[in-house]
Structure 1
Amino acid sequence: LDAFCAATICQGDVVVIPDAQDDPRFKHNAWVTGPPHARFYAGVPLWVQGQALGTVCVLAPEPGQLSAQQLQSLRDLALAASALVEARLNTQRFRKLEARVRTASLAGSDWLWETDDQGAIQWVSASMMQHTGLNPSTEVGLKAKDLYTPRGDDTRASWDRFLAARARREPFSHAIADRMTPRGKITVSISGTPVFDHAGRFMGYRGASSNITRQINEEQQSRQADLLLRQSIESFNAGVMIRGPDGRILLSNSSWRRRMGADAVEGMLWADLLRKRIADGLYPDAIGREDAFFEWRMGLVDQPKPQEIRLNKGWVQSKDQRLPDGSIVHFSIGISETKRHAAALAVQQKALEESQSRLTSVLRALPDLWFVIDEEGRYEAAHEEHALLIRPFSELKGKPFGAAVPAELAERESLAIARAHETGLSQRLDYSLELGGGLKHFEARLTPMPDKHTLFLTRDMTERMVAAEKLRVSEELYRSVASSISDGLIVVQLDGRVVAVNQAGCRILGVQASEVVDLNTSDALGYELLTDDLLQALPREQWPVNATILTGQRQDDRVHPLRRRDGVVVWVQISSHLLRVNTQAQPFAVVATFRDITQERHAAQALALSEERWKFALEGAGDGVWDWDASADRIFYSQRWKAMLGHEDHEISDLVSELTDRIHPDDRATVVAALNAYLEHDQGLFQAEFRMRHKLGHDVWILSRGKIVSRDALGHVVRVVGTHSDITPIKRAEQVLREKQSAEAASAAKSEFLSRMSHEIRTPLNAVNGFAQLLKLQLANAPTASQHLSFVDQILHGSQHLMALVNDVLDLQKVEAGILTLKTERLTLLGEVQQCAAMLGPLAAQRGITLQVNVNPGYQVDADRQRLRQILMNTGSNAIKYNQAGGSVWFDTEARADGGMALVIRDTGPGMSPQQLGKLFQPFERLGRETSSIEGSGLGLIITRSLIEAMGGSMEIRSQPGSGTRVSIVMPAAANGVTPEAADTTNIHMHKPHGDLSVANPSREAPCAEQVPLHVLYVEDNRINAMLFEEALRPYAQLSLEIAEDGQMALSMARDKAPDVLVLDAHLPGMSGFDVLRALRTLPLLENTPAFMCSADAMPDDVARATAAGFAGYWTKPIDIQQVTSVLCSLANRGDNSAP
């Protein structure tokens, strides 16, 4: 059988032997030749965990075959057997593993657990009891949130990772949390792996937990120790760095990092950081020898002593110490300040040595004998070659001071040395010695020195003592002289000591002689010299006495304020000079004389102040002063007097002719006569106005005023003083005022003339134009009246032309007088152009002219509506009148370079030459067309341009012969806003273009039977105007007219029958139209009766006055009959008396 199975295992697949006796491999097999005499064999390998462990086979004593189904059943049987064997093996293996895990968990700190898919614990290993004291069975059914509490330290992140992994069904490890046990609170580390079945369904987690309480505590202690270590080294002023055995930086304080210029260094190799800082130039001594310096610095750990290193711009002292574990501690202390102090100390030491050397040289150069005495009172140094040495210094050095002088003197010297060191002040010692056969007098100074040394300086005073005696005699002489003089006198020695002061000096200084004698001028003397402003003390070195001592120069008549002890300030005049025994002798003192000049000073100041006030008053008024000495015939002219005429002070002498020659020739005789009259009669004050010639050639108006201030015994004038005032600005202002008044008077006269002219022309024009309108209305329906209608048209045309001329003249006068009133509003340019084009349509149609409007619909301007339309009508009518028949006129807008918009009016007329363009804006200039059929006044363009400029715009005209004319008008653009609705134009009266002679026939509807005609009272003194008004209203049955010739008649008629409408002329006999209206308003039923002014006054002020007086309308003569009758008929049809 082994042979059969071996063949199957080797084959690795199903082996079928139909008859073993025929198969040479098996016919001699014992199982074939002997029992069980097998002849048929079929076998399949038994595979377990990838290895063939045996076979599943079938034996039969007879030869045979297996069907495919039988063969598959054999394979399935083999697979089932393999599975059973593998399961058995796995069970055995798991039991062994479980035993090992149980044993390991009992020995370790872990316990095992298993949860279901909801996180509830299903099983816990028995080792949990050993590690926590908890019975595992009590855990079953609980979840992690029921057992564990996340910690509040840096381990909290592990618990958050655990929750996130569990939500994603992923493995997790080392989730740290606390839990309570019978042994107290412990810290647990939890790790787990998700479990899935063969179908991939999540079954729960299996994992292990361990008690890490001790580990956590040890880590906290370690972190605390590390924190304390870091805080400790951070508190060091010295730089500290620790690197590990591998050379990496483990720890450093901020002082070390700051010196190294690095922040995050932990984990870096010290060698790398050192090389980088060497390359950065942090170590000046490494420049040029970088590698050698690196090796030296890295080897400092083997140096027993600290090393000084230049670091950046300073110095540090560095020491490296190796620790037992191989780590190295670096210490560095900043010694830059110490190095600087050492350097400064070295400099000071050198300076001290040089100073000592210089001092020794100076002392050797002194004429006095000097010794240096040490702290023990022994001779230490001296001027060894000095002639006053009693013995050679080599014999004295080291011996007690005073060994060469008498004991009594030595004792005095010792006491003086002791006082010098006690007080810190130099001590003076006078003594005498027998030397060279005679008595010598000496003066010594003993000065304390550092280290209790003393400088002893002595000089021979014998000659000076003799001089002092002479000085004493001299002082006695001076005292006797000083006591007899009134000036103060004070004597001061060259060392500043006050020797004497006389009584007069004590009185001036406010002191007693005993209080200042023997004091030094640097001491407090009881008085103080002040600066001239009395605010501060004059420095002592500037006092006259001290100045003489310092410079040897005389000080003459110096004036200073002096404050005495009692606070009184006096002014003194001081002089000082040196005192000598004779002219060849050296000076030995300074004498100063001084006197009190306080009264004189105050008097001089008062005089100066008075003069200053007088000068200030004159100069403040801008006046010049003259002072005439009549006896010498000379005049003093002040600087301001001369400057008034443009001259410097030196350019005018004191001659009288300097004044008289500069007076204007036309004024000179009058001025001289006025002056002589004043001198003869002495009438208070001389005053004259005249012109004087300025240096630059023009005249200056002068107001000269003067007064006689002295006469001689005979009464003759001796002195006259006066002033000159420049009144040129006043004269100019008077001239300007006169010219202004003259211009205003001329303007007023012109306005009055134009107003009268307008009134006088309009009054007859009213009759001409009005009756012409009536004739045209009456002839309109007559079939044979065409010729008569033509005559009437000519009358209307002529009157309209004359009326337009009057209006143009009035408009021009308003512009020139600056009284043009504008009411600016936001207007849409397209609407205004379209309305004017409609009004110009009939005139254009007469000549076959085509009008085209291409204006930007969104363009708005700020302008006066009536004046804008007047501008458009003037320019538009010119473009039509001066065009060729059948031509065109365009109204366009075009953009400007400055972002604005311009209205352009172009025509196809004959154009103009440059010469004609130059005359275009001259009044009444019509460029040679005066005799043509084209009517005009020559004022329209002037008025148009003036109106445009008055509204802030501009106008430009370009033209060439044969190319037409182009007029560009720029008006101020309106700010963005809503376009206003077109205003009502019912009451805006535009000049009709010449040629429009239409007269509309108003409705003549008959009144209803019950309608009462409108009663109109017309007050007019001109019979022709009254007749015209009557004829104009006659055709209208709804209107009833009464005419009064003056105000009294009107009042009488109104009392008899109250009118419904009042029409009044402005100029009436006896009472004006305004007076008549006021009187009529007092009558019953006339308080609110509509009233209209019908007048030839056409000025804006006239219309405004009428409106203010209560008139509802203003009809300017010549009247527009259509307008008048339309308004009255409208009132009649309304059937009330209310104003329209």
Structure 2
Amino acid sequence: MSCKNSMKAEHFMEAVPHALVGLTRQGECCFINAKARSLLGEAASPQCLSGLLEVLPGALSSALGSLWQTYLMDLTSEQSSNCSIVAAVQGKHYQLHLIPVDDNALVGGVLLTIEDITQEVHKEIQLDVFRQGVGNYRELHQNDARWDFMLEALKRLTNSQYALIGETVTQKNSALYSLRVHAVSDLSWNESSRQLMQRLRSGEMTLSNPDSILGRVFAYGETVLTDDLAGHPHKTGFPPGHPEIFNFLGVPIYDGERLVGMFGVANAPQGYHIGMARELAPFTTTCALLINLYRDSKTREKVLKRYAVAKDKAQAANRAKNDFLSSMSHELRTPLNAILGYVQLLNDVSDLPLETQLYIKHIDDSGNHLLALIGDLLDFANIEAELLPADLKPVALQPILDRLCHQVQGLASKHAITLKPWDSRGYYVMADAERVQRVLFQLVSNAIKYQPQGGSVDIIIEKVAQQVAIHVMDEGIGIDPAYHADVFTPFNRLEASKGTIEGTGVGLSLALKLAKSLGGTVTLKSEPSQSSTRHHAGKHVGADFTLWLQYAKRPIKSHADHSGTQEIPLKKEAEYNGARVLYIEDNRINQRLMERAFSKWHLLSLDIAESAEQGLEKLSQSSYDLVLMDISLPGMDGYAALKKIRATPTLASLPVIAVTAHASDTEIHRGREAGFDDYVTKPVKLNLLKQMIHTYLN
């Protein structure tokens, strides 16, 4: 084939900004423009395809050979379509096109175009760097791969063998920066150099020499370019075995005016030029963003770590405080048991002088006041402690209210308050009986204390939808609605703290917490007496604290349950004559107190053991009807002793009652779980203990 209209063809092809080569279908060169001659070398003048393949750089030659094979296959199949391929040569990227041309066109045969697309490829790579490095920062952060990804992208962009990216950090006692390396190509050549690289990668070691070729970048913010590293004035010596570094480009990373890091590349076959720093501006900006994100995440990690440490310390201090309160409660209850116990014995003496009786009453009042304060200490610990999960099951309210009224009767009598409990027979709730009683004790004792003497406390029960509301109503002065939320705040006693009403202000807080553990709550309805219009049964209502619990149906009893509910006649007290009780207690005063109490009960025989070991020996030698046992004992404690008792076949069914100063919810729960038949806290109410003993002996 011959070239047609050669002047027009030459003018057109020289004006094209890409390298162009005209080829016949047989592979003969008929035209090469100036751009192509520059690429091939001015001295080269290939006459055909084979000559062209010889003078083209290696990657371009291979790409053109593949394209020509594709073109020939298209000719065989009588197809006529463009085909293209991309090749990289010495850091530049080229796209080759073979375009079939009709005979009527300027050139007949095939037109080869070779287009430099390096800038477009770099833009795409840098866009991908930004998208992956910043857009997927969280994912890369989780995989700890962000800096490795950036390092590989930098090597692609610069066609470099080695690269490094780092963050500037302030040196101690210096205005200069040092460099913390985030990613670096492996330059190790022996074991010691591998360890050095590992220390660099982990951030354990930083680079700090400001006069090195790297230091000029990270310490002074200079751009360093050299194609003769050996002759550079700031080159430092490389140890024997170090890989050869023959050229280098170091670029500082700025965030505005602030130097935040640097990157460096080395050993690019095509060398480096100063314009490359400008071309890499998007990459540099992405690095600055990542360094800031990295610093923010590290700051956040440090804050979270400090917070976690502070939280652990606070929790440890809180546990220590609660342990201290529990320990103090135990230590105070032990001597108080003797004080209030002997007061109970003295109250049974009928011929004491009136003045002595008055002294005893003062001791009793003060002792019970001290006991209430100790109880408040435990309540405070319970407010902040995690409650054990409640065992929710249908429970009857009537037995709970009966025990409650007996529990608060002494306090009500002291304040001349009349208790008026509602008939609660037939009412059942999903709850834990002990916790319900504790909530109601707080509500009722609060109602007794916060109203004038001579008043009354009404306990009223109603079913509302699928809930049971237990109202505790008093005739006090009422509470302004603005302060209703405050009454459930620990230690907030409103104006009561300025008066003579005893207490610490933790009871209602504990009541609310216990109620919530049962799936319920406590609410308050009240107004000051001047504006209150609330009445019940024709009388003024000062405050109405209401415990809300989930309604439960009466549990269906099995045949065995029905047989067990038949009335069993209680033994008369005389029938306990000779019953033997073993009391395991190490405190001498409490031993004497229990001996005096049993001596007044006449028909019960008491034996004393001063340790668990001594108690177990007595149980192995003699027969007893019941055991009263302290938990804190020298040597073996009460739990270990109980375990041995339950493991002995002849003693397994023997009733064992804990009599202890451990009075917290957790300790009571633990005692019941351990297998104690009952749990009595010190100071012991002797009459209640006597009734309990009779119940178990029955």
Bin for the TM-score computed over the shorter chain: 0.5 to 0.7
Structure 2 gap segments, 5+ residues each? 6-21, 31-45, 53-64, 87-94, 158-162, 206-226, 231-235, 239-244, 251-263, 266-286, 533-540, 562-570
Alpha carbons of structure 1 residues 822 and 671: separation in structure 2 relative to 1, 3 Å: farther
Name the SS of the counterpart of 1:1094 in structure 2.
strand
Counterpart of 1:688 in structure 2: which amino acid? G
Question: Of 526, 530, 533, which aligns to 2:76?
Answer: 526
Q: Which of residues 445, 458, 462 in structure 2 aligns to 1:877?
A: 445
Task: Identify the residue that residue 476 of structure 2 maps to in structure 1.
Answer: 909
Aligned partners of 2:384 and 2:368: how far apart in 1?
24
Which one has more relative contact order, counting CA pairs under 8 Å at least 6 apart?
2
Q: Which residue of 2 aligns with 1:1025?
A: 590
Q: Partners of 1:477 and 1:807 in 2: how far apart?
A: 106
Task: Say whether residues 1:1038 and 2:556 are aligned partners.
Answer: no
TM-aligned CA deviation for residue 759 of structure 1: 0.8
Corresponding residue of 2:110: 592
- Report the equivalent of 2:305: 734
Which whole-Å CA distance do the structure 2 matches of 1:797 and 1:506 have between them? Answer: 108
Q: CA 1:1015 to 1:666, structure 2 compared with 1: closer, same or farther past 3 Å?
A: farther
Q: Which runs of 5+ in 1 are unaligned?
A: 1-466, 469-473, 490-503, 513-523, 530-539, 545-557, 562-570, 581-586, 630-634, 640-653, 691-709, 985-1001, 1135-1140
Q: Which residue of 1 aligns with 2:359?
A: 791
Aligned partner of residue 543 in structure 2, secondary structure:
strand
Q: What pairs with 1:621-700 in structure 2 (closer than 5 Å)?
A: 621-622=140-141, 623-625=145-147, 659-660=167-168, 663=169, 672=178, 683-685=196-198, 686=200, 687-688=202-203
> What is the distance in 1 between the residues matched to 2:498 and 2:26?
123
Counterpart in 1 of 2:160?
none
- Note if 1:959 corresponds to 2:527: yes
Match of 2:546 among 963, 969, 991: 969
In 1, the alpha carbon distance for the partners of 2:24 and 2:316 equals 99
Structure 2 distance, partners of 1:1042, 1:505, is: 108
Post-superposition Cα deviations, 1:488-533, rounded to whole Å, max 9, x if no partner, equal: 99xxxxxxxxxxxxxx999735859xxxxxxxxxxx842487xxxx
Change (3 A) 1:1066 1:659: same
User: Is the Cα–Cα contact under 8 Å of residues 913 and 961 in structure 1 kept in the other structure?
Assistant: no
Please say if 1:801 is aligned against 2:369: yes
The change in CA–CA distance for 1:956 and 1:1028 in structure 2 (over 3 A counts) is same
**Letter in structure 2 aligned against 1:799:** G
Looking at structure 1, the residues matched to 584 and 23 of structure 2 have their Cα atoms a distance apart, in angstroms, of 126
Kindly state the Cα deviation for residue 920 of structure 1 after the two structures are TM-superposed: 3.5
Q: Which amino acid in 2 is paired with 1:621?
A: L
> Quick one: which amino acid aligns to residue 715 of structure 1?
G
Distance 1:612 1:560 in 2: 21
- Which residue, 662, 671, 676 being the options, matches 1:1097? 662
| Counterparts of residues 1002-1081 of structure 1 (less than 5 Å) | 1005=574, 1013-1078=578-643
Distance in structure 2 (CA, Å) of the matches to 1:798 and 1:928: 23
Determine if the alignment matches structure 1 residue 559 to structure 2 residue 127. no
- Structure 2 CA distance for aligned equivalents of residues 884 and 559 of structure 1: 101
Q: How does 1:257-336 map to 2 (within 5 A)?
A: none
Q: Which of residues 419, 429, 433 in structure 2 aligns to 1:865?
A: 433
* Structure 2: distance between partners of 1:711 and 1:1034: 109
**Structure 2 counterpart of 1:948:** 515
Contact preservation (8 Å) 1:844, 1:851: yes
Q: Distance in 1 between matches of 2:580 and 2:692?
A: 14
The answer (yes or no) to whether the contact 2:140–2:146 under 8 Å persists in 1 is: no
Query: In 2, Cα distance between the equivalents of 1:1127 and 1:855?
Result: 25
Conservation of the 8 A alpha-carbon contact between 1:837 and 1:851: yes
Q: Do the aligned residues in 2 keep the contact of 1:488 with 1:594 (CA within 8 Å)?
A: no
1:363-402 to structure 2, matched below 5 A, reads none
Per-residue deviation, residues 623-650 of structure 1 (Å, max 9, x unmatched): 5449999xxxxx97999xxxxxxxxxxx
The 8 Å contact of residues 572 and 594 in structure 1, kept in 2 or not, is answered as yes
Please point out which of 308, 319, 332 is paired with 1:761. Answer: 332
Letter in 2 for 1:920: V
Does residue 813 in structure 1 map to residue 381 in structure 2? yes
Q: How many angstroms apart in 2 are the aligned matches of 1:559 and 1:476?
A: 18
Larger radius of gyration: 1
Do 1:508 and 1:595's aligned partners in 2 also have CA atoms closer than 8 Å?
no
Change in 2 beyond 3 A, CA 1:594/1:624? same
Of Structure 1 and Structure 2, the greater helix share is in 2
Is 1:508 matched with 2:69? yes
Structure 1 residues 907 and 813, CA gap change in structure 2 (3 angstroms): same
The separation in 2 between residues aligned to 1:481 and 1:673, in whole angstroms, is 56
Decide whether the 8 Å contact of 1:894 with 1:903 is kept in 2: yes
Gap change, CA 1:1062 and 1:973, over 3 Å in 2: closer
Deviations 1:8-56 (A, max 9, x none): xxxxxxxxxxxxxxxxxxxxxxxxxxxxxxxxxxxxxxxxxxxxxxxxx
Q: How do residues 704-783 of structure 1 correspond to structure 2 at under 5 angstroms?
A: 713=230, 715=237, 726-727=297-298, 730-731=301-302, 733-777=304-348, 779=349, 781-782=350-351
1:476–1:848 Cα change, 3 Å:
closer
Letter in 2 for 1:485: C
Show CA shifts across 1:791-847 (max 9, x none).
Answer: 323323322232233223323322322225433344576886687567666765666
Q: Which residue of 2 aligns with 1:400?
A: none
Compute the displacement of 1:774 (Å).
1.4
The answer for the alignment partner of 2:684 in structure 1 is: 1119
Post-superposition CA distance 1:890-918 (Å, at most 9, x none): 4456898x997755444332334578767
- 1:487–1:595 Cα contact (<8 Å) kept: no
Shift of 1:974: 2.3
Q: Distance in 2 between matches of 1:1121 and 1:900?
A: 38
Report SS of the residue matched to 1:1017.
strand
Distance of aligned partners of 1:850 and 1:525 in 2 relative to their CA distance in 1, 3 Å threshold: same
CA distance in 2, matches of 1:1062, 1:762: 21
Which runs of structure 2 are paired with 1:153-192 in the superposition (5 Å)?
Answer: none
Amino acid corresponding to residue 1033 of structure 1 in structure 2 = F
The 2-side partners of 1:614 and 1:508 are apart by 38
- 1:752 CA drift (Å): 1.1
Give 1:873's aligned amino acid: F
CA distance in 2, matches of 1:1050, 1:574: 106
Q: 1:1089 offset after TM fit, Å? A: 3.4
Q: How does the TM-score come out when normalised to structure 2? A: 0.58
* 2-structure distance, mates of 1:907, 1:1032: 38
What is the CA–CA distance in structure 1 between the aligned matches of 2:529 and 2:47, rounded to whole Å? 117
Whether the aligned pair in 1 keeps the contact of 2:612 and 2:636 (CA below 8 Å) is yes
CA distance in 1, matches of 2:306, 2:492: 35
| Deviation per residue, 1:642-676 (Å, 9 max, x gap) | xxxxxxxxxxxx999x953xx5798988972877x
| One-letter identity of the residue aligned with 1:486 | L
Query: In the aligned structure 2, how far is the partner of 1:613 from the partner of 1:528?
Result: 43
User: Could you tell me which residue of structure 2 aligns to residue 485 of structure 1?
Assistant: 48
Distance verdict in 2 for CA 1:638–1:1026, change over 3 Å: farther
Equivalent in the alignment of 1:251 = none
Partner AA of 1:864 in structure 2: D
Aligned equivalent of 1:574, options 98, 102, 105:
98
Matched ranges for 1:46-85 at <5 A: none
1:1006–1:1036 Cα contact (<8 Å) kept? no
Task: Give the match for residue 18 of structure 2.
Answer: none
| Other structure's SS at 1:1097 match | coil
The aligned residue for residue 282 of structure 2 is: none
1:1024 positional shift: 0.9
Give TM-score, length-normalised by structure 1.
0.38
